[in-house]
A and B are shown apart, each in its own frame.
Chain A
Amino acid sequence: MRNPITAKLATTDANLVRQIAEGDLQALGELFDRYGQDVRRFLARMQVPASDLDDLVQLTFLDVVRPARRFEEDREVRPWLFGLAAITVKRHRRSLARLARNLTAWAREPAPRHEPTAADLLVEQEAVRRAEHALEKLSSKKREVFVLVVMESFSGEETARALGIPVATVWTRLHHARRELRALLGEDHP
C-alpha cells in the first residue's frame, strides 16, 4: 500500500491531471483544493453572476476529464485550467436560460447593483466601483485576455495557449481592452 505522505509530496500538477484522466476522484479533489479558489476568482472577474458562480466552478472541474486525456505534460496546469474555465463561461452565456434568470434576478434585487450608496461615495470605493463597472462593460473576448494577463499575471504565451488563440491576437485584444477601460474610467483627457 502506498504511503499517503510521500504519495502526496510526489504528486505534481501534471501527475494529478494524468490521474484524473484515468478517473481518479481523489486527484480531482486535490486539483480542486489547489486551484478551486483561483478558478472561482477568475470566473467572478469574468462577471459570472454570484448565483451561478459555484455551479460554474463545479462544471469547470467536472469537465476536466476529457481534456485531461489530451493534456501535454509540458504545459502548466493553472493556465490550462483557466482556459477550460473560459470555455465554461462561454457555454454558460450561450444558455437560453440565462436571460430568464437575469429577468428573475433583476425583479428580485432591491436596488440596482451599481447605484452608489453613501459608502460608495468615498474616493477609494468609488474607484473600485467604477473599475468593476468598466470590467463588466468589456466584451467577453477582451475581458478574458485582460483578466488573464493583467489580473492573473499570465504571460501572453500562456494566455494564448489557454484560450486557443494566436499570441498576436492576445496583444491586440489586450490593447483594445486597455483603451476601452481607460475611456470608461475617464483617464483619457482631451
Chain B
Amino acid sequence: MTMQTCSQTWMAEAIEDARLGDVECAAFERHAAVCPACSRAVAELARLREVMTQVPVAEISDVERHRQRAHLLERANRLWGRPRGRAWKLSLAAAAVVLLAVGGTSLYRSSGFSTGRVLGRNASAQQPPTYEVTGLAQASFTREEVGPVARVRLAGGSAEFHVHHLRAGQRFLVALPDGEIEVRGTRFVVAVKGQGTSFVVVTEGKVVLRRPGEPERLLFAGDRWDRPRASENEDISTAEARNADPGAVAAASTAGATRHAVPGAASPAPAVKPTAVAARTLAMTQQTHGRARSRAQEGTAGSLGHPKAATDTKSDTSVRATREVDSADSFAAGIAAFRAGRYRDADRLLQAFASKNPTDPRVEDAAFLRAVAHSRLGDTSGAAALARDYLGRYPNGLRRPEAEALFRRAP
C-alpha cells in the first residue's frame, strides 16, 4: 500500500488532526515536499475529508422546526412534571413507547377526493387519531399516517375536518401550501386557493396555525383567520421591547412601534361556495367571538370568559361597548387603566381587545395582564384560572414563570 512505503506517513494524519506542534508540522512539511508517499497521504486525507463532508443532510423548514420545538416542550412538560425519582424510568418508558409506535408505522397514500368523507382509522395511543375529512367544492387532498401521527395535505379547494379526541402522543396535522395546521381536538374548515391558505374557521376546540416567518396562531372555536390582503401593513412587531411592566408596554404601544397586520378582522367571502355542512359551519362564525369562545370553553377551568369574582356582570354590554374602539386604543386604554389601578376596567378593556383582535400579537400580553389584574383585585382563584389559560395557550410564553407563580397561588 502506498501509505506504508514511508515510515513517516502516520504524521500526515497527526497533522490533519492538529495533534502536532508547529515544529513537528514544519519538519513534516519539509519531508513531504520530497517524499511522494507522504505528499500523497496528505492529499488523500484532504480529499477524503472533502468527499465525506459533501454527504448531504436534509434540513427541516422553519415551520417544521417550530413544530418540533413545541412538541419537545410539550413532552418535556409531561415528563418533567413527575416526581424526580421516577423521571428516568418514565423517560425510558416514553422512549420505548415512541420506538414501538414508530415500529408499528404504516404509510398510506391515496388520491384526492373532490367530495365525500374519508375516515381515519380507529384510534389508540399508538395508532393514528380518528378523524373525518369532508371534501367541499374542488377539494384536493392526500393523507398519510405514520404511527400516531396523521397528516392530510390539502392542495386546493376547501375541506371540513373533524378530529376526535387525541390521546397522548397522537397528532393530527393539515399540511398547507404555505404552512400547516396542528389540531388539538376540534372541528374546523380550511380553504386553500392558489398557493396559499384562504381562510381557517374553527367551530369546536382549537387549532394552531403555522406559517413561515410568522408566530404561531392559536385559533379557538368561533375564531376565523383570513389571509391578509397584499395592501395591509405587515411590519414586524416589536414584541421583544415589551415586558410585563405596564409602563413599558404602554410606552411601546404609544411610541409608534410597528405591529403585525391584524388579519381576520374583515371577512371576505369564502373562495368556494359552501355545502350545507360548511354553510352550517361558517354560519357559526357569525356569532361574536366572546359568546362562541365562552360556549366552547364552558366547563373548562381557565376559560377566557369572565372569572366571576371580579368582573362586570354585564359582560356582553362591555364587549359591545368596546367593539367600536380601535384596536390600538382599546389595548392602550386597558394599559392606562391598569397603570391607574383601575383593574376592573383594565380587565374589561383587555378582554374586549383580545376578543376583537384574536390574532394580534399583543393578545398574549393582554391575557397575562388580565391575570395580574385579578390578582391585584384579590381574586386569586380568578387570577389562577386566567394564568392556567395563559399557560395552556402559550406554553412557551414570555410570561410563563410569572403565570406559573400566579397559578400556584390558587386557593
CB distance from A76 to the nearest CB of B (A): 16
Q: Is the CB of A25 within 8 A of B243?
A: no
Q: Which residues of B contact A190 (CB under 8 A)?
A: 1
Which DSSP category, helix, strand, loop or mixed, fits chain A's interface? helix
Q: Which of B107, B245, B396 contacts A1 (CB 8 A)?
A: B245
- CB proximity of B14 to chain A, nearest CB, Å: 8
Are B57 and A25 closer than 8 Å at their CB atoms? no
Q: Contact at A128–B55, with CB atoms within 8 Å? A: yes
B99 in contact (CB, < 8 A)? yes
Q: Does B34 contact A (CB under 8 A)?
A: no
Task: For A33, give the chain B residue with the smallest CB separation.
Answer: B69
B54: interface (CB < 8 Å): yes
Of residues 1 to 37 in A, which have CB atoms within 8 Å of B's CB atoms?
Answer: 1, 3-5, 23, 25-26, 28-29, 32-33, 36-37
Binding-face segment, A54-62, A77-85, A114-122:
A54-62
- Closest Cβ of chain B: how far from A54's Cβ, in Å? 6
With both beta carbons as reference points, the residue of chain A lying nearest to B94 in the complex is identified as A62
Contact A26–B52 (Cβ < 8 Å): no
Contact call A26/B105, Cβ cutoff below 8 A? no
Residues of chain A within 8 A (CB-CB) of B65 are: 36-37
A29 x B245 contact (CB < 8 A)? no
- Identity of the chain A residue whose Cβ is nearest the Cβ of B80 in the assembled complex: A23
CB of B40, distance to nearest CB on chain A (Å): 10
Contact A58 B56 (CB under 8 A): no
Residues of A contacting B88 in the complex (Cβ-Cβ under 8 angstroms): 66
A114 to B73: give the CA distance in the assembly, Å: 36
- Knowing A97-B102, A101-B105, A156-B17 are in contact, say whether A58-B72 is a contact too (CB < 8 A): yes
- Interface core residue of B69, B71, B401 (most chain A CB under 10 Å): B69
Q: Are B55 and A132 in contact (CB under 8 A)?
A: yes
Most buried by A among B60, B79, B99: B99
Give every chain B residue within 8 A of A59 (Cβ-Cβ). Answer: 95, 98
On chain A, which size bracket covers the interface?
Answer: 35 or more
- Alpha-carbon separation in the docked complex, A149 to B91 (Å): 30
Interface of chain B: mostly helix, strand, loop or mixed: helix
Name the B residues within 8 Å of A131 (CB-CB). 51-52, 54-55
Q: Are A45 and B44 in contact, with the CB atoms below 8 A? A: no
C-alpha spacing A92/B102, complex, angstroms: 12
Complex: A146 Cα to B91 Cα, angstroms: 29
- Let me know if B71 and A58 touch, CB within 8 A: yes
Knowing A25-B80, A28-B76, the reply to whether A52 touches B102 (Cβ < 8 A) is yes
Known interface pairs A55-B98, A149-B17. Does A181 touch B398 (Cβ–Cβ under 8 Å)?
no
B13 to chain A: which residues have CB within 8 Å? 171, 174-175, 178
> CA of A63 to CA of B98 in the docked complex: distance in angstroms?
14
In the assembled complex, the CB of B20 is this many whole angstroms from the nearest CB of chain A, namely 12
A41 touches which of B57, B102, B401 (Cβ 8 Å): B57
Which chain A positions have C-beta within 8 A of B91?
Answer: 62-63
Does A113 belong to the interface (CB within 8 Å)?
no
Q: Is A187 an interface residue (CB 8 A)?
A: yes
Chain B residues with Cβ below 8 Å from A50 are 58
Q: Are A1 and B244 in contact (CB under 8 A)?
A: yes
Query: Knowing A36-B69, A52-B102, A178-B45 touch, does A108 contact B107 (C-beta < 8 A)?
Result: yes
Contacts of B72 on A, CB cut-off 8 Å? 28-29, 32, 58, 61-62
Q: Is B59 an interface residue (CB 8 A)?
A: yes
A4 adjacent to B240 (CB under 8 Å): yes
Q: How far is the CB of B206 from chain A (nearest CB, A)?
A: 20
Given A4-B398, A156-B17, also A37-B59 (CB < 8 A): yes
Closest CB in chain B relative to A187 CB, distance in Å: 6
- Asked if B402 lies at the interface with its beta carbon under 8 angstroms from chain A, I say yes
Q: Are A146 and B105 in contact (CB under 8 A)?
A: no
Which residues from chain A contact B146 at a C-beta distance below 8 Å? 51
Distance (Å) between the CB of A189 and the closest chain B CB?
7
Residues of A within 8 A of B1 (CB): 188, 190
Closest to A28 in B: B76
| A-B complex: 9 closest residue pairs judged by Cβ atoms | A97-B103, A44-B57, A101-B103, A41-B57, A97-B99, A131-B51, A132-B55, A95-B99, A1-B244
- Selected A-B contacts with CB under 8 Å, 17 pairs: A4-B243, A5-B241, A25-B73, A25-B396, A29-B69, A50-B58, A51-B146, A58-B68, A61-B72, A61-B76, A97-B100, A97-B102, A128-B55, A151-B52, A182-B44, A182-B48, A185-B51
Known: A36-B65, A135-B55. 6 other contacts (CB 8 A): A3-B243, A28-B73, A62-B75, A150-B52, A155-B18, A175-B13
